């Protein structure tokens, strides 16, 4: 037989694109269009409906960046269309290649109720399945002219304060038309078969069977009258579409989904509208297609719908009850997991799962987190303690260097907890269910021979409209189709149950899921990160003192509602494009203002509780909210501090500079303002490597290959400028309690002023760095070359720490050239180490080198500031204050203690006398992470603890109140079976044993 394959394939593509798809709509009649442009921010629906509309026409420009235009469309169905399926096609000027990143619309009826959304692949509205003729159409389209910001070029369109006023879009089409159902079905038949053919080998008989059937179907099509011949053409395809899949075909669980970033290239207020638009489309599909199942994550987004679109929320509740609209994820938002603090990560699950339980009676069973930029090794324990059983992500497939070895596996966290995990091998969370993507999933699946199934989330995300009727049509055709994986639309829980059943002994991956990409997110938008860290600290402080006052002070009312509202605000801003610094300028401008308001409210709550506790003033009290005693004041208590210790002495340094000595540390600062010696007196050890200088500010070029705000590429290290030029070196405080040196430098268009302080009795050198930053595409680091032979570093993470190699033996280790740490990072030799502490810095790098003297220098650097230009061209420009500290001779326990101390400062108030802690813990390795009253308003005290050193710990919990009963709970504060802990002694003390890095939540019922 002659090979005419390419001719038929070309014929198919042309006929499908130029004749069949255009014939889906016939007899188009223009609708009458009117418009009203809302000034400023979006208006309520009632205002949009009542607005004064003016004339408008197809082809007319509309919509400056971030504007809203309301269109009124009216028309009448012709009598001759009676019995036909009629739709309106409302094209606002869409670019079909960018669903979710351009204009969008929501169609309303005259009474204000929603009809459906308009998106690039969803620009139709059904008028009637069988028109009677004469139906009157009157709809109102709320159209958002969101600018296109996906080109990865610097732009000022990312903030309404700096965007232009030129129209961005042009109305393309607003018609009534007959929807030719049989033509639409034919188009889907041919599309599915064409795409499947392209995935089959040229030597496979199945490919040619399809080819001949397609050829015959095209012969049956009258190109001048496609609707009249569509059924005949479809009949010639029926046999190849009915051929069943192979018994061994890969099985795909297709889950309807619309990944919607809670903020990214649009502000939070636009996400409120995006989720409403998408949900209106989804509800329509659910009502029309009984096989369809839709999964929605992020409780915050459902809360927005409940608040702003209550009628949609009521429809959602009905579909949830049917089991077809499926809440997933269990978190308040799809948060970052690298930088979110431990307690905040707990609250993501507490408030997320509580929302689903309260609103729908649903206990979510899994964690749906497809798009975060790497996953902390602390997460498996948190997932399991939240009552969840599985974890799903997609993002690790983006890693640049090392392909991840599993798609289905058990993920083991720092404490040994394991959670069943799946990475969909389709490598997207916005699948179109096309044959190419399904074939990729089957080929890519790494568990062949042990597992046989994977999950595919399908639907256009980020405001693209979610799943479409075309997606469902593809799923139906490929449910059992020879040459294709088997496709079944079902819930995520159903997939995980089946996957676990067939692969119970899945392999284990221990430790973090490090994304070998987007490492710059540990540093970009420093003010956002600082706002998050300080808000987390202030929330800890406010809850501790408010709980103490609620138990101790008659009449004091614990501020449940205020604390929950503030927590949810902070949790929202931990979304994986806000906290990582990868959103537009508008998002971060609002975030800065929000953090300022949160801080004011939390400081007021703290002050009110402390004043209630302090009583009549007789002396100054120091309130210590840190989980360790300091200056003689107990953790969680207040009192008069003990003497600080040996005074600090300052003497001139030979060759210039100063020597500071407090008996524990002797620190030399040379004439350049650099730390050239940090000597641990008790250990007789020098921290700074010979010939090195610590606290050395360095500037690198920072122009990654693509993702500006997201990425730091390894080649940045090829060029570095050490900031050695000195403007001034001054003594600004001179003991005996503290000595502070002021070091000022200018570089480029910027200036850095550092305050180096050694305090009496302290084991740290405190460094406050004020930077007036006006660089572009630069990276500022602070380097500490240490005389320590360390093969690994320890970085604090949620409820513990993780170790990472300092060498680059393998590509896996080399890829971790920028790492995340919370309050501290630590390197050590056996018996002696050094910690670097910080108050808001997350990005670090650790390298090692061997000196000519044979010793090893381990250099730890903090990433202080970046200056990417996309998506915010003014990222981090302006003034910053960053605090970090060097702790020579510190062990892990010292790092834990000093890290908390730096982030949880003392507060001084007048008071009557000491205030005992509400709850005390005897063992230093066990850290009291959170102290609060129970969410159910019962008045029970909730205590969250964790083992911080990575070893077994025996501790005693000493409540400062009478305890009727105690029990271990999950993160939702529900007692776990068999965990009642009756008081072991008359004073109510509770003995505890914790395994390494164990997280323990206790609920104490008061008598």
Supply the residues annotated as catalytic: 371
In DSSP notation, 10-73 reads HHHHHHIIIIIGGGGEEEEEEPEEEEEEEPSS---HHHHHTS--EEE-TT-EE--TTEEEEEEE
> What tokens were used for 696?
């050395």
Q: What are the two backbone dihedrals, phi and then psi, of residue 321, each rounded to the nearest 5 degrees?
A: -60, -30
Please provide the DSSP assignment of 893-940 as one string: HHHHHHHHHHHS--EEEEESS-B--SEEES-TTEEEEEEEE-TTSS--
Q: Provide the CA 130 distance to its chain's centre, in angstroms.
A: 46
Residue 492's closest CA among 327, 260, 263, 301? Answer: 327
- Cα radius of gyration rounded to whole Å, the chain: 31
User: For 547-608, what is the HEC assignment?
Assistant: HHHHHHCCCCCCCHHHHHHHHHHHHHCCECCCCCCCCCHHHHHHHHHHHHHHHHHHHHHHHH
107 with 90: CB under 8 angstroms?
yes
Write phi, then psi, for 792 (nearest 5 degrees).
-150, 160
Q: Is there a contact between 236 and 217 (Cβ–Cβ < 8 Å)?
A: yes
Structure tokens belonging to residue 916: 């005992």
Separation CA 866–CA 881 (nearest Å): 14
Structural tokens at position 680:
């641990």
Query: How many beta carbons lie within 10 A of that of residue 391, not counting itself?
Result: 23
C-alpha 607/C-alpha 623 separation (Å) is 11
Structure tokens at 70: 């309301």
- Burial of residue 831 (CB within 10 Å: 0-12, 13-18, 19+) is exposed
Query: Of all helices (H) and strands (E), which one includes residue 324?
Result: none
Q: How far apart, in whole angstroms, are the C-alpha atoms of residue 18 and residue 15?
A: 5
Three-state SS for 5? helix
What is the C-alpha to C-alpha distance for residues 318 and 360, in angstroms, rounded to an integer? Answer: 9
150's CB contacts (< 8 A; 6+ apart) are 98, 101, 265
Residue 431 tokens, joined? 């699948």
Q: Do 709 and 871 form a contact (C-beta atoms < 8 A)? A: yes
- Rounded (to 5) percent helix, strand, coil in the chain: 25, 30, 40
DSSP states along 712-734: --GGGGG--EE----SEEEEEEE
Does residue 960 contact residue 916 with C-beta atoms inside 8 Å? Answer: yes
Angle between helix 310-321 and helix 342-360 axes, rounded to 10 deg: 80
What does the DSSP assignment read for 412-428? Answer: E-TTS-EEEEE--TT--
The answer to whether residues 881 and 864 touch, using CB atoms and an 8 Å cutoff, is no
């Amino acid at each position: 037989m002659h090979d005419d394959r390419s001719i038929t394939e070309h014929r198919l593509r042309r006929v499908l694109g130029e004749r069949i798809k255009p014939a889906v709509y016939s007899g188009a009649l223009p609708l009458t269009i009117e418009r009203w442009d809302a000034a400023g921010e979006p208006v309520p629906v009632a205002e949009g409906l009542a607005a004064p509309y003016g004339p408008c026409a197809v082809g007319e420009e509309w919509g400056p960046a971030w504007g809203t235009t309301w269109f009124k469309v009216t028309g009448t169905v012709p009598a001759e269309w009676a019995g036909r399926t009629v739709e309106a096609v409302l094209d606002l000027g869409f670019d079909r290649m960018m669903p979710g990143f351009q204009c969008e619309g929501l169609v309303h009826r005259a009474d204000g109720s929603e009809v459906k959304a308009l998106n690039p692949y969803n620009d139709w509205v059904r008028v009637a399945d069988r028109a009677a003729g004469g139906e009157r159409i009157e709809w109102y389209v709320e159209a958002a002219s969101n600018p296109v910001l996906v080109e990865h070029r610097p732009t000022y369109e990312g903030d309404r304060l700096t965007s232009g006023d030129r129209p961005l879009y042009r109305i393309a089409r607003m018609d009534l038309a007959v929807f030719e159902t049989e033509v639409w079905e034919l188009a889907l038949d041919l599309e599915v078969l064409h795409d499947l053919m392209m995935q089959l080998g040229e030597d496979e008989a199945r490919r040619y069977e399809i080819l001949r059937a397609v050829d015959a179907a095209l012969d049956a099509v009258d190109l001048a009258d496609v609707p009249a011949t569509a059924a005949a053409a479809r009949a010639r395809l029926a046999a190849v579409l009915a051929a069943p899949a192979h018994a061994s075909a890969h099985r795909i669980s297709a889950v309807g989904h619309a990944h919607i970033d809670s903020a990214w290239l649009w502000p939070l207020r636009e996400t409120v509208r995006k989720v409403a638009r998408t949900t209106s489309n989804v509800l329509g599909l659910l009502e029309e297609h009984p096989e369809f199942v839709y999964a929605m994550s992020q409780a915050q987004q459902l809360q927005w719908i409940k608040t702003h679109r209550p009628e949609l929320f009521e429809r959602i509740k009905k579909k949830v009850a049917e089991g077809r609209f499926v809440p997933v994820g269990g978190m308040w938002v799809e948060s970052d997991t690298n930088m979110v603090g431990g307690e905040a990560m707990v609250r993501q699950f507490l408030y997320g799962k509580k929302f689903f339980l309260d609103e729908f009676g649903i206990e979510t069973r899994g964690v749906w987190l497809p798009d975060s930029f790497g996953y902390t090794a602390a997460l498996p324990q948190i997932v399991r303690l939240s009552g969840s059983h599985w974890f799903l992500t997609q993002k690790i497939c983006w890693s640049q260097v090392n392909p991840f070895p599993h798609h289905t596996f058990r993920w083991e966290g720092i404490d040994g907890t394991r959670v069943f995990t799946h990475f969909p091998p389709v490598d997207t969370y916005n699948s179109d269910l096309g044959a190419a993507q399904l074939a990729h999933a089957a080929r890519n699946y790494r568990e062949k021979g042990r597992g046989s199934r994977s999950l595919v989330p399908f639907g256009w995300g980020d405001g693209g409209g979610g799943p479409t009727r075309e997606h469902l049509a593809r799923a139906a055709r490929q449910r059992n189709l020879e040459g294709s994986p088997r496709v079944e639309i079902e819930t995520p829980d159903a997939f995980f149950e089946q996957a676990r059943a067939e692969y119970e002994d899945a392999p284990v991956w221990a430790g973090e899921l490090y994304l070998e990409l987007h490492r710059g997110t540990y540093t970009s938008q420093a003010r956002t990160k600082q706002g998050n860290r300080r808000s987390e600290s202030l929330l800890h402080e406010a809850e501790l003192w408010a709980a103490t006052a609620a138990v101790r002070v008659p009449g004091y009312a614990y501020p449940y509602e205020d604390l929950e509202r503030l927590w949810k605000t902070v949790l929202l801003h931990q979304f994986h494009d806000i906290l990582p610094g990868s959103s537009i300028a508008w998002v971060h401008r609002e975030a800065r203002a929000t953090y300022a308001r949160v801080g004011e409210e939390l400081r007021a709550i703290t002050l009110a509780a402390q004043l209630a506790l302090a009583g009549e003033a007789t002396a100054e009290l120091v309130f210590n909210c840190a989980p360790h005693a300091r200056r003689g004041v107990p953790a969680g208590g207040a009192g008069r501090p003990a003497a600080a210790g040996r005074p600090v002495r300052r003497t001139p340094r030979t060759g210039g500079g100063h020597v500071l000595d407090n008996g524990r540390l002797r620190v030399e600062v040379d004439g350049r303002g650099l730390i050239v010696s940090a000597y641990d007196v008790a250990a007789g050890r020098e921290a700074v490597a010979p010939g090195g200088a610590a606290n050395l500010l360095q500037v690198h070029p920072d122009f990654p290959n693509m993702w500006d705000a997201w990425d730091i590429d390894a080649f940045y290290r090829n060029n570095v400028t050490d900031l050695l030029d000195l403007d001034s070196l001054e003594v600004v405080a001179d003991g005996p309690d503290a000595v502070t040196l002021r070091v000022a430098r200018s570089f480029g268009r910027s200036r850095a002023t550092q305050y180096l302080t050694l305090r009496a009795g302290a084991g740290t050198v405190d460094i406050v760095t004020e930077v007036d930053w006006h660089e572009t595409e630069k990276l500022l680091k602070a380097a500490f070359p240490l005389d320590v032979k360390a093969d690994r570093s320890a970085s604090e993470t949620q409820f513990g720490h993780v170790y990472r190699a300092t060498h680059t033996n393998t590509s896996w280790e080399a890829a971790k050239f920028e790492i995340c740490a919370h309050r501290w990072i630590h390197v050590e030799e056996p018996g002696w180490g050094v910690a670097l502490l910080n108050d808001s810095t997350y990005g670090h790098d650790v390298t090692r080198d061997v000196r000519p003297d044979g010793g090893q220098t381990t250099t730890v650097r903090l990433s202080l500031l970046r200056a990417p230009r996309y998506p915010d061209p003014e990222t981090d420009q302006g003034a910053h204050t960053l605090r970090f500290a060097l702790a020579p001779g510190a062990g892990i326990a010292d790092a834990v203690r000093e890290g908390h101390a730096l982030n949880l400062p003392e507060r001084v108030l007048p008071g009557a006398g000491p205030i005992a802690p509400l709850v005390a813990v005897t063992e230093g390795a066990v850290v009291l992470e959170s102290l609060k009253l129970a969410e159910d308003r019962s008045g029970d005290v909730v205590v969250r603890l964790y083992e911080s050193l990575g070893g077994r710990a025996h501790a005693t919990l000493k409540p400062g109140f009478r305890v009727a009963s105690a029990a271990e709970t999950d993160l939702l504060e529900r007692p776990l079976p068999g965990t009642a802990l009756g008081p072991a002694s008359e004073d109510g003390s509770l003995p505890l044993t914790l395994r390494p890095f164990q997280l323990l939540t206790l609920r104490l019922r008061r008598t």
